[in-house]
Amino acid sequence: MDWNRSNAIGLASTTCNCCQGQGMRTVHKVREAPCNCVFRAIFRACFNRFRECTELGAHTSTVSLEFCDGHDGRRAYARKREEYIADFSLVSRRMLEDEDHQIFRYFFLLGADWKLCCHRLKLDRGNFFHSVYRIEQKLGRGFAELEPYALYPLDEYFGGVIKKEACHSSLADPLQSHTERRIPLPLSA
């Protein structure tokens, strides 16, 4: 994702002390980077969609037809809700350390309140919430900057066009190009 003021200002918290609601902050007096409040907002948007997809458990078996962008004009069938649930869970697991993933699992996935999490993980309230904010920032950045297909923006994930340029080269016969393929014709007697 290309970070600039126009795509960060809508996500920024108006009460943020670092960016004053602008979404971008100055780093090393030279360049601008997105504020942590932007990453937390991205995580919350992705987490809310994750909860929405898991709550529709009985209705997740619908299949959607997606058009792929490529010279063949192919179509692909997908179950976007299940794919999003799996991507959200796997990306979270890969990006977080074991201690942070345990907090993430208890607090976000299992829905335990902070008192139970603090008691179970033997943390005090301050350290627990610092960990929660750090987890939100790390995952928010990861969801937005994931390559080649990011989880955020959500409208691109659920309704975007799939680009299959890299997949064609792996499926094609290396000795023949797509234009040179010949279909054998039946011989008439």
Can you read off the two tokens belonging to residue 115? 């008192």
| 31 falls within a domain | no
Domain that holds residue 139: 40-162
| Helical spans, DSSP H, in the chain | 5-8, 36-55, 80-95, 98-104, 114-121, 125-145, 154-159, 165-171
| 9 falls within a domain | no
| Amino acid at site 86 | A
Write out the DSSP string of 151-172. S-SHHHHHHPPEE-HHHHHHHS
| 150 falls within a domain | yes
Could you tell me whether strands 64-69 and 31-34 are parallel, antiparallel, or unpaired per DSSP bridges?
unpaired
In this prediction, residue 168 carries a pLDDT of 46
pTM of the model: 0.75
| 70 falls within a domain | yes
**pLDDT one digit per residue (tens) for the chain, 189 residues:** 777 777 788 888 888 888 888 888 878 878 888 888 999 999 999 999 999 888 887 665 667 777 666 666 677 777 788 888 999 999 999 999 999 999 999 999 999 999 999 999 999 999 999 999 999 999 999 998 888 888 888 877 777 555 555 444 444 444 444 444 444 555 554
| 28 falls within a domain | no
State the Cα angle at 2 between 11 and 48, rounded to 5°.
35
| Amino acid at site 145 | E
The number of folded domains in the chain is 1
Q: Say which residues have a Cβ less than 8 Å from residue 161's Cβ, sequence separation at least 6.
A: 66, 67, 68, 69
In this prediction, residue 157 carries a pLDDT of 74
In this prediction, residue 119 carries a pLDDT of 95
| 61 falls within a domain | yes
In this prediction, residue 82 carries a pLDDT of 86
State the Cα angle at 159 between 153 and 160, rounded to 5°.
75
| 78 falls within a domain | yes
| 34 falls within a domain | no
